[in-house]
Amino acid sequence: MRISDSVANYILQLLNSADGTAEIQRNELANFLGCVPSQINYVLASRFTPEQGYLVESRRGGGGYIRITRIRISTPDMIMHSINAIGDTLDAGTARAMIENLVYSGVLTRGTAGIIQAAVSDKSLNSVPRALRDQVRAVIFKNVLLAARI
């Protein structure tokens, strides 16, 4: 598992255990996970965006923190925000994080999430050239979400 996946999964665990809001200190989290602080910034900027259902606030300084809050929005809006957030490419880790967010938000059941995860997994896309997988994954993910719209 890549370090960015580990960071994102850890933050998601914090959010799940704290009812949708978590406060972290970037340097402490980086030390705990064995990565550089800029990796935390990357994960927050790429996987915890408003389009993916998150609000990230930061306070700088010695006692500074980063607060991540899961935003509650309607199911159709959540699906459209997810589709718009995907863009032209989607890596496997981001797809997993988005699927988990959709499950947590009640947009997808665990069963539907498992089917979508299987459809966009690297195993399913094994016959697609590696250079094109993220593009194909994005198209599949968007179309499945459009078909699943409630």
Q: How confident is the model at residue 51, as a pLDDT?
A: 65
Fold classification of 3-70 is Phenylalanyl-tRNA Synthetase; Chain B, domain 1 (3.30.56)
Residue type, 30: A
Other C-beta atoms lying within 10 Å of the C-beta of residue 58: 13
Which three-class secondary structure state does DSSP give residue 13? helix
Nearest-CA neighbor of 97 among 28, 15, 34? 15
Burial class (CB in 10 A: 0-12, 13-18, 19+), 6: middle
Q: How confident is the model at residue 63, as a pLDDT?
A: 64
Q: How confident is the model at residue 111, as a pLDDT?
A: 93
Burial class (CB in 10 A: 0-12, 13-18, 19+), 32: exposed
Query: How much is the mean pLDDT over the chain?
Result: 88
First to last CA, the chain: 33
pTM check: above 0.85: no
Residue type, 2: R
pLDDT at 74 over 90: no
Domain assignments of the chain as residue spans, ordered by start: 3-70, 75-147
| Contact (CB, 8 A) for 23 and 66 | yes
Q: How confident is the model at residue 148, as a pLDDT?
A: 73
| Residue bearing tokens 């968007």 | 142
| Residue bearing tokens 């989290």 | 29
More confident residue, 137 or 58: 137
pLDDT at 104 over 80: no
